[in-house]
Amino acid sequence: MNHSAFDRTFAAIATVAVAAGAVAAFWVLGTPGQQRLLMGDQQRLEDLNAIASTLYWQSQEQEDYVLPDILDVNDQRQDPITQEPYGYSKVDEGRYQLCANFATDSSTRKLADPTNQNWKHPQGFHCFELEITQQPPSLY
């Protein structure tokens, strides 16, 4: 085999390897559009966790703390895409719900930790029921 044929063969193999790597990356990580949806959902979860943490710590600091019927303006957060406030409702004196509209189903994430069951959600509108006496579950 002369150098020219070897060079062409090597270039073809390298091109196939790069293309296979790109296809594998899109299969595992998803397209840029899918990644934007996942990042939006991650921000939603971080916001809900922050609200839950605020409520929990307020209850720890005040002996006679009562869950509010509506969230204080300073405790509210907004969806990163729609700019609408997240849903909050008081269930009873010790429990409440936080709701958001998710773009993806958390069970379809290929790189998610399968042992972490905290903050699992379907695609679409979903509410998490939390207890004020328990620290919110970890996101990770």
Indicate the domain borders of the chain. 1-30, 33-131
Q: Residue 30's beta-bridge partner residues?
A: none
Q: What are phi and psi of 89, to 5 degrees?
A: -150, 140
Amino acid at 99: C
- Give the per-residue pLDDT at 93: 92
Report the C-alpha gap between 68 and 95 in whole angstroms. Answer: 11
Give 130's Cβ-side CA count (13 Å radius): 26
Torsion, Cα of 81, 85, 89, 95 (10° steps): 70
pTM for this model (two decimals): 0.76
- Give the per-residue pLDDT at 24: 57
Confidence band, pLDDT 50/70/90 cuts, at residue 82:
very high
